[in-house]
Structure 1
Amino acid sequence: MTNRAVLEVIALNAEDAIAAQAGGADRLELVTDMAADGLTPPRETFAAIRAAVDIPLRVMLRKTDGFAAGDVSALVAEARALRAEGAEEFVLGFLLPDGTPDLAAVEAVVAELAGCRWTFHRAIDRAADRDQLRKALADLPGLDTYLTAGAAEGVDAGLPVLLAEAARRGEPGYRAQLLVGGGLTLDHLPTLRAAGIDAFHIGSAARPRGWHHPVSANAVAEWRAALS
């Protein structure tokens, strides 16, 4: 198994995607509306990005700010439309008001994905019980990644949780890859890599001039170099 760490970068459009790939990104997370922490992008945006780059794309399935599923039938319809457009990997995650996983919503969407690989996103960082959530989702088809900072506040606060979960890799509920993101900085990398964590997710770190400016290939390249 290669020791190359996965670097995933958030892309909002084809310009972002081209820059991220040029900088050395391995995969992109496609979203729109970062003011709402990232919602499902239009099919047209997915198609434009798919035509522009040849690295894997994970497409967000999320219709509302927060971690409630909202209109599940609309989510299922989005998933179906994106799959028809050629999407093969996804990102999703829904909680009930009490912080437990919304299994009905997750299962309804995952059924539409028909075995496609997917990430359960940072909803895990708002869960009432992370271990319970992981074990509840463990047998869902296609789940291969958790995007997490270890805590709602970000990696600084969540580092002990990330290290503890990395140490449990391979146990039931802990077989999916840890993809660390959310307040992640270059300074965190040595500690995370030493723990065996091999996947990292950046958004604002790829945009030194802010979200109103495109991804910087140079910024992505700095991360790629730090991980190499």
Structure 2
Amino acid sequence: MSKRAVLEVIALDVEDAVAAEAGGADRLELVTDMAADGLTPPVEVFAGIRAAVGIPLRVMLRLADGFAAGDVRALVRAARDLRAAGADEFVLGFLDQAGEPDLAAVESVLGELDGCRWTFHRAIDRAADRDALRKRLSDLPGLDTYLTAGAAGGVDEGLRTLLAEAGRRGEPGYEAQLLVGGGLRLGHVPVLWAAGVDAFHIGGAARPGGWAGAVSAEAVGVWRAALDASSWPAP
């Protein structure tokens, strides 16, 4: 019996979203400004994408480059406005100057999310202590996913960490799904899948023309077909 892997694709606009869905994406991460590694999109962009596709959307809550929360009141307003527009899944994650999770900022934002499901993003790859971060966040409402490459430098650098964390699934702090992204290549997938990783996140890999171009349904389809390959049994 095989198990379908989750494929999440970064979308910047309606064109991206429609192509990603057509290619077989299960979920989209909505952002703007990839020069800053992805910031909160305008509410109007979210609304347009929500009207155009039927798959789940996770919306980034991040207002400036880096992993500091910055203006928490502005983050809270952004979360409130997106919720009012119908957003019900989110992506966020803030660190303090010591690389510890900024729980005050995270909890302030979560106060607007009404228990919505959310991903703690690649801030974990910059944390002073990944294990400690997971355990400190484990009781927060709605947290169901960690987006991580295992290391700040990407999956090549973090593969060993990813495999180790996959092996701890279900332990305290490791209940959330491991969503692997950040320099992810198709060649990484079989070993990750064999270790129990069942969710994969792509951005540039969905854009043959680079970030200046749109998502390609064909490129997403290559990933969908590979993830669905019958030669990869359920972990």
Q: Who is 1:144 aligned against?
A: 144
* Deviation string, structure 1 residues 165-205 (Cα, Å, up to 9, x no partner): 00000000000000000000000000000001000000000
**Counterpart-to-counterpart distance in 2, 1:160 and 1:204:** 23
Q: How is 1:1-228 mapped onto 2 (pairs within 5 angstroms)?
A: 3-228=3-228
The AA in structure 2 aligned to 1:99 is: G
The AA in structure 1 aligned to 2:42 is: P
| TM-score, normalised via structure 1 length | 0.99
Structure 1 segments of 4 or more deviating over 2 A? Answer: none
C-alpha displacement at 1:77, in angstroms?
0.4
> Any idea what SS the aligned residue of 2:152 has?
coil
Q: What percentage of aligned pairs have identical amino acids?
A: 78
Identify unmatched segments of 5+ residues in structure 2: 229-235
**Counterpart-to-counterpart distance in 2, 1:185 and 1:66:** 24
**Counterpart-to-counterpart distance in 2, 1:95 and 1:167:** 25
> Any idea what SS the aligned residue of 2:111 has?
helix
**Counterpart-to-counterpart distance in 1, 2:110 and 2:171:** 22
Identify unmatched segments of 5+ residues in structure 1: none
* Deviation string, structure 1 residues 34-89 (Cα, Å, up to 9, x no partner): 00000000000000000000000000000010000000000000000000000000
C-alpha displacement at 1:25, in angstroms?
0.1
Equivalent residues, number: 228
**Counterpart-to-counterpart distance in 1, 2:107 and 2:135:** 14
The AA in structure 2 aligned to 1:17 is: A
Output the aligned Cα RMSD.
0.9
